Amino acid sequence: MRPGPDQSIGFVSTFPPTVCGIASYTESLVGGIADRNPESVTGVVSLGEAPTTRSALPVLMNHRTGNRASLRDATAVLNTFETVSLQHEFGIWGHRDGIEVLDFISRLSVPTAVTLHTVLDEPTRNQRAITESLCHLTDRIVVMSQTASRRLVERYGVDPDLIRVIPHGADPGFAGPSLVTGGRPLILTWGLIGPGKGLEWAIRALAEIADMRPLPRYLIAGATHPHVRQDSGEAYRTSLMELTQSLGLGSMVEFDDRYLDRRSLARLVRSADVVVLPYESAEQVTSGVLVEAIAASKPVVATQFPHAVELLSGGVGALAPFGQPHLLGARLRQILSDRPTRERMTARTRLLAADWYWPTIGERFAGVMSDLVAYPATYASTSARHAHVAG
């Protein structure tokens, strides 16, 4: 169903100026909905540990996670909308494993869709209980990959009719013409930096192609994740710099610790010859960076994390096993040295990403939310939430 012009959606999520992938996702999604449906009404309850002194639209208030008075105020604000979109990842909600989210959703009296940014294949007992309860209390589940959808059905027993797969979007600026210069090939990784990104494996992979001419450049672009910086400062980035020097790769590896705006980032990605994503987690079912790389028509070399396996298996990139830099290097060498392969991958990425830009994703998402209003009799979860509160 196409969303009506007066549709109202309340979002609850981390949101800029918070620096994290979910905040960027939600900001872009809200913007995409507005692009296609300028008369729609959206508002955001942002998640954080402290109240903001002044909120700029579309943020209506800040929910201090873990604070019950704030939770009551936040849900009261959201219940003034026709529907609510709740973003979930264990680390953005209060209390152990973010269990606060169950109390939060139970107090919502309007049709609600939960977007799951994490669907663990091997959750702890508490994480499984939270995920199962959340799926029971929501009217619709949105995930960004088929892998996440299958996991919900096979591992958590979720009714597949409850699930909608809507890809992570990309800024249309990533679709601009290639800005490759034709000089030294540029290998690029970007995003918030921290342990688990596997950047040490990419650096070691560079040692495998140090004989190539012209000599490739590897740029690691992005600020250290705020939580990592709070816990351990710049220790991880420093360790990467030390590894680079110990391997004699100072002329190949570069670091840019800026947090780039979307336009600057899009130009940087369009200037790359190939993107490398050496992530270490076999649990990652969503990667916005991977989507943006494909949207920019860039061949991708990635480790075998689930979202990469799903998107790259069709010939738009190459996969390497976890923790094997010699194979990661071999994949990079093949793409950089074989122009027909590189051009074939580029053409396939362009086809794959054709419907991934935020205005299209926003329209699809708004359509899912509109269906919750149009067919309320088919959704029993709102009454289930009331029973949960009463219990």
Q: How confident is the model over 31-89, as pLDDT tens digits?
A: 999 988 888 899 999 998 554 455 677 999 999 999 999 999 999 999 999 999 999 99
Residue 253, CA atoms < 13 Å, CB-side half-sphere = 26
Structure pTM?
Answer: 0.89
| Structure tokens, 302 | 């990635």
In the structure encoding, which two tokens stand for residue 105, read together? 């959703």
Whether the pLDDT of residue 307 is over 70: the answer is: yes
DSSP-derived letter for residue 376 is: G
As given in the structure block, the two tokens for residue 175 are 């679709």
285-302 pLDDT, tens digit each:
999 999 999 999 999 999
At residue 352, the pLDDT reads 87
Q: Which run of H or E residues covers position 340? A: helix 339-352
**CA–CA dist 18, 302 (Å, integer):** 27
pLDDT reading at 379 higher than 70 = no
Give the strand pairing for 186-190 and 217-221: parallel
For residues 250-254, average pLDDT = 95
Asked whether the predicted pLDDT for residue 388 surpasses 80, the reply is no
Cβ count near 305 (within 10 Å): 24
Q: How confident is the model at residue 1 (pLDDT cuts 50, 70, 90)?
A: very low
Give the β-pairing of 274-277 and 186-190. Answer: parallel
pLDDT of residue 362: 95
**pLDDT tens column, 157-192:** 999 999 999 999 999 999 988 899 878 999 999 999
Measured CA to CA, the distance from residue 137 to residue 144 in angstroms comes to 20
Domains by residue range for the chain, with CATH:
8-168+357-390 (3.40.50.2000), 172-352 (3.40.50.2000)
Q: What is the mean pLDDT of the chain?
A: 90
Instruction: Give the Å distances, CA to CA, from 298 to 149, 273, 275.
Output: 26, 7, 7
Peptide bond into 167 cis (omega under 30): no
What confidence score (pLDDT) does residue 389 get? 52
